[in-house]
Amino acid sequence: MDILLQTPCGHNFCLKCFQKWVALKKFTCVKCCRAIPRKMANNPRINDSLVAAIRLARVSKSAAPRGNAKVYHFISNQNRPDQAFTTERAKRTGKANAASGKIYVTIPPDHFGPIPAENDPIRNQGVLVGEFWADRLDCRQWGAHFLHVAGIAGQADYGAQSVTLSGGYADDEDHGEWFLYTGSGGRDLSGNKRTNKVQSYDQTFTKSNEALRHSCKMGYPVRVVRSHKEKRSAYAPGEKGVRYDGVYRIEKCWRKVGIQGKYKVCRYLFVRCDNEPAPWTSDEHGDPPSDLPNIPELKKATDLFERKDTETPSWGFDESEGRWKWMKAPPASRKSVEALDPEERRSIKRAIKAAQNNSVRDKLLKGFSCPICREVMNAPVTTPCGHNFCKGCLEGKFAGVAHVRDRSRGGRTLRSQKNVMKCPCCPTDISEFLQNPQLITISSSSVNTEVMSVIEALKEKVEEPAPEEEGGESSGNTSEENMEFEGGSMESEEEESQMVGSEDEPPTKKMKLDAEQGAATASV
């Protein structure tokens, strides 16, 4: 089931069930009959904390695969600094005008499909579903989507490798396991604009739109990243950042008149086909093949294109193995790999390690800390606006604050006025939520039990004697359930032997490092 959403009364629902319920004009919780906030009913969003919890549990369960790293070619990549930088030429500093940092993975820009462990020599784990970056430049460095602004990565005569869902096109329609995507173009970008919401001519199947159609025809896997900027989708990350959600296949494409009513847009039906479960589901498995969804707008479609039944898609489901794989050889890359040399790899690895804080406690703090006490959440509660706090902290914050303000001034009594109580993290008024009797009386049902159980499980690990960070080999897998985190203890390797020495010497372009920006944490 999809564990996705939590009502203010503390009950979790699968998004699809929630949507069905709300569609029946029922605006009260099935379990306790309390009111469902209007905003949540109209625009439900997945609960990032739950997503983070699911992912953390998943990643910690499966030790990252460790293969032998292979590096293929060396190009100018090593001249780039580790992080985004602004060049001498740029008049303004900051990431808005930044150039990309090094590419960490050893795939060419026209690589199709998931990014496997052997192309991730720094961490040896590949790019995992649910991986999260602060912005598009960081995302690019891990190869999930190479373009900084454009949404479609691809070449007209060759295919599209990845797309991003960022809310740039009103016609997009996201259902998680499948979505309808809109082509690019048809807009007036004169006057040095990068984007423009208004369509002013028809889109055509050329350039990147044709690249998508080519991927459809061949049945290639297309990597998909979702951005927080997609506000209408229930499946997009909530607060900030960009998330890798796995590969999808384009099953059909067509054109139709866009939502703006005048001009045609290109349309694509994407269906998920990844061996890893989607970030928002608690399922243990990836996507089994399923029937295509019914698309009402196809009635009005023109230029419909579907992959022929006779032609086996390049990326397909192997029934005997029970997983998706290349049924035909993936297209040979026409570009070279931008790889790092081994020394740089080591220095980046060190930096990533340092930034990641590998201890379980640090992971916990990072993913599940309470914004008020800065400690790992104790009895987490989720506000209607999606922020998480210790139950105690939230109560404490508003302790002694009256819910209503008495307005009587001397003479006659006026009706008392409601006090606005702002969420400590955003301007939302949560006074109604705070009045929820289940929150006031100590009752576990208002606590986010899903998140709490993950935290409890992880906390137990902390109690265990922590395996020495580098004290020779992992060895001490005393309990086989031992939670192993990415890049965790079993590193050994030469690492420390040559500490300093390889400060990346300034590249040809002078740069002002902006950004330290700290590794993206799951927004809580």
Partner DNA sequence: GGGCCCGCAGGG
Partner DNA sequence: CCCTGCGGGCCC
- Binding residue (CB under 7 A) for DNA from 11, 45, 55, 95: 95
Rounded CA-CA distance 15/238 in Å is: 15
Assigned token pair, 521: 């944490």
Told to check if 168 binds DNA by CB under 7 A, we report: yes
Determine, following the binding rule CB under 7 A, whether residue 76 of this chain makes contact with DNA: no
Q: Residue 419 to residues 124, 410, 523: CA-CA distances in angstroms?
A: 53, 20, 28
- Return the number of the residue (81 or 488) whose C-beta is nearest DNA: 81
Q: Rule CB under 7 A: choose which of 19, 78, 155, 356 binds DNA.
A: 155
**Phi, psi dihedral angles at 128 (to 5 degrees):** -90, 145
Q: Which is nearer to DNA, 12 or 215 (CB)?
A: 215
Of 146, 244, 270, 433, the one binding DNA by CB under 7 A: 146
Query: What is the secondary structure of 89-150 as a DSSP string?
Result: T-SS-SGGGPBP----S---TT--S---GGG-TTTSS---TT-EESSHHHHHHTTS---SS-
Q: Is 154 in the site for DNA (CB under 7 A)?
A: yes
Which residue number, 157 or 284, has a Cβ lying nearer to DNA?
157
What residues between 221 and 260 interact with DNA by CB under 7 A? 227, 229-230
282 binds DNA (CB under 7 A): no
> Please, what is the minimum distance in Å from the beta carbon of residue 92 to DNA?
6
User: If we measure between CA atoms, which residue out of 189, 165, 320, 190 comes closest to residue 248?
Assistant: 165
Token pair, residue 140, equals 């690019």
Q: What's the rounded Cα separation, in Å, for the pair 162 and 137?
A: 15
- Distance CA(469)–CA(353), nearest Å, equals 11
Query: Of 144-152, 250-258, 295-303, 393-401, which segment contacts DNA by CB under 7 A?
Result: 144-152
- Cβ of residue 172: shortest distance to DNA, in angstroms? 5
Spatial distance between the Cα atoms of 118 and 465, rounded to a whole number of angstroms: 32
Near DNA by CB under 7 A: residue from 15, 51, 98, 224 = 98
Distance CA 103, CA 110 (A): 14
Using the rule CB under 7 A, give the single segment among 134-142, 246-254, 284-292, 471-479 that binds DNA. Answer: 134-142
* Binding piece for DNA, criterion CB under 7 A, among 190-198, 347-355, 370-378, 380-388: 190-198
Site residue total, DNA (CB under 7 A): 53
Contact 18, 6 (CB under 8 A): no
Cα 189–Cα 190–Cα 191 angle in degrees, nearest 5: 120
Tell me how far, at minimum, the Cβ of 363 lies from DNA, in Å.
Answer: 24
Q: How many Cβ atoms from other residues are within 10 Å of residue 502's Cβ?
A: 14
| Contact present, 110 and 337 (Cβ < 8 Å) | no
Nearer to DNA, 13 or 169 (CB): 169
Range in contact with DNA (rule: CB under 7 A) among 164-172, 276-284, 377-385, 450-458: 164-172
What Rg, from alpha-carbon coordinates, does the chain have?
A: 25
User: Interface mask (CB under 7 A) for DNA, residues 335-374, using x and -?
Assistant: ----------------------------------------
What count of other Cβ atoms lies within 10 Å of the Cβ of residue 202?
Answer: 15
What is the Cα–Cα distance from 145 to 138, expressed in whole angstroms? 10
Q: Is 184 in the site for DNA (CB under 7 A)?
A: yes
Which residue from 125, 164, 436, 489 is in contact with DNA, where contact means CB under 7 A? 164
| Ordered alpha helix ranges (H), 409-497 | 431-435, 437-440, 449-463
State in angstroms the smallest separation of the CB of 163 from DNA: 7
Q: Going residue by residue from 206 to 225, which x/- string records binding to DNA, judged by CB under 7 A? A: -xx--x--------------
Rank residues 64 and 152 by Cβ distance to DNA and give the closer one.
152
Contact range with DNA by CB under 7 A, out of 142-150, 246-254, 455-463, 494-502: 142-150
Q: Return the residue of 28, 79, 195, 478 that touches DNA, per CB under 7 A.
A: 195
Q: How far apart are CA 12 and CA 81, in angstroms?
A: 44
Provide φ and ψ at 173, rounded to 5°: -145, 115
Q: How many helices (H) and strands (E) does the chain have?
A: 11, 19
Question: Is beta strand 323-326 parallel, antiparallel or unpaired with respect to 315-318?
Answer: antiparallel
Alpha carbon separation from 521 to 81, 241, 349 (Å, rounded): 22, 9, 18
Q: Judged by CB under 7 A, does residue 99 bind DNA?
A: yes
Closest to DNA by CB, 150 vs 462, is: 150
To DNA, the closest distance from the beta carbon of 469 in angstroms equals: 33
Q: Which stretch binds DNA (CB under 7 A): 96-104, 247-255, 359-367, 437-445?
A: 96-104
Among 152, 339, 377, 522, binds DNA (CB under 7 A): 152
* Nearest residue (CB) to DNA, 174 versus 486: 174
Question: Of 23, 25, 68, 192, which one interacts with DNA (CB under 7 A)?
Answer: 192
Q: What are phi and psi of 227, to 5 degrees?
A: -110, 150
Phi, psi of 266 (to 5 degrees): -80, 140
Is residue 191 near DNA by the rule CB under 7 A?
A: yes
Window contacting DNA (CB under 7 A); options: 151-159, 213-221, 437-445, 481-489: 151-159
Q: Which residues bind DNA (CB under 7 A)?
A: 87, 89-92, 94-100, 109-110, 135-137, 146-157, 164-169, 172, 181-182, 184-185, 187, 189, 191-195, 207-208, 211, 227, 229-230
